[in-house]
Structure 1
Amino acid sequence: MVKQEIIFWRYLWKTQYVLLLLPIILMALAAAIATYDGDLANNLMKLIVFPILLFPAVASLYHIGSIHHRELLLTFPLNNLWLGLIRPAFLGFIYSACFTISLKTVSPYSTEELASAFISSFFYMILAGFFLVLFKSIAIGFVIPMAYLFYGIFTTGTGEGYFYLMQWARPNPDLTLRDCVVVQAIAAIVFSLGTLYFLAKRNKYHWNT
């Protein structure tokens, strides 16, 4: 198992390093800019870095959403637990932690706001993996979560309730950070299990995408 994981991460790095590195590079850029222009750095984190956090999630599952691998996917033996649950959760934790730490360096967010940013970014990455596996499409793995995110940004979460992903940055007065954290943490678990389920049943569900 350890050898397989090493092989996987090496291959992922060789083939998807751009998607893996871009969020980290922009986080570092925002931290550097913060010493000169805090508002610009903060907006960079909120409006650019946060949306592209789904890049690593999609990269780790790209072979599921690639049209060139769909036929092979139906019969190829996969470790569903690692591919559908452990790896996405690991990547989500690492990138969400990096994002939260970067936020703290660019703007004086409260502890509660940082906790909300961490959970929201983690949930956002889990959503990307869920929709990619459900529809077996890289495009949908990108489009649906990002469209949902930007709808919330432009409407301050109208109609999204406690699933609003930007409460920590653009608060909706009808919501509380604590409730958003709890609901989104539970939702992240549910969608992670959903990803695992649809991956295990990948030969049963076929969508025209």
Structure 2
Amino acid sequence: MALSDLLYPDNPKRRQELINLHQELLNCMSINFHATNELAGVLNAHLGCTIPRIQMRESSTVKENCDIIIRTMSEIQHQLQKIDNDMKEKLEPVLYQRLYDIKEPELEKIAIAHKVFSIVLGEATSTAGMVAVKLLSSNFITLAVSKLISLLAQIGASVLGGISITILGLGIEMILHAILGAVERNQLLEAVRSYEKHLDEFKAASEKYQRDIQEVASLVRQQVQ
């Protein structure tokens, strides 16, 4: 046992608490990577996008992995905004407004959107209109993606940002290094508070993001069966 643990016996418990919280964060990030790849696959297959797959980098820090997801989510936002601009440019104003009218039947919206994709892509899949309507006429961009980008940026900028993805790597040692006294204790307390502050909100946003994408992906699978 380190001398600092003898002087501050709650430190080992806080170390384990920090490692457990760190694992929860990594689980959420893994969900985000998977969900983002699933969404990118749908957009690439049906809306003519070319968004590359992403992968967690275990040798990198939390911030570096947050930045990877943020860049891809921002590209998804950009691509969907471009699709929306194409809709607005190629549709009559009344038809374009119908896409965002909550009273308009969804099948009518899908038919309108599909016409645009047939022009833009030359040959559009039967699910292109459905995917576009689900992503553009809902609050997916403003709520799910934008919220998650904001939280990822906060986490990356916090004390968590410099911690390595690998729990037993050098990054965690920066916080758990064996120095004496209250300095280590204060660092541990700061790290635990930072995790607790961000994790609940991040978990909720991650789960909503995943559910929204699974809904779209499920509809696509039903169409192609």
TM-score (ref. length: structure 1):
0.31
TM-score (structure 2 length as normaliser): 0.30
Larger radius of gyration: 2
Relative contact order, higher structure (CA 8 A, sep 6+): 2
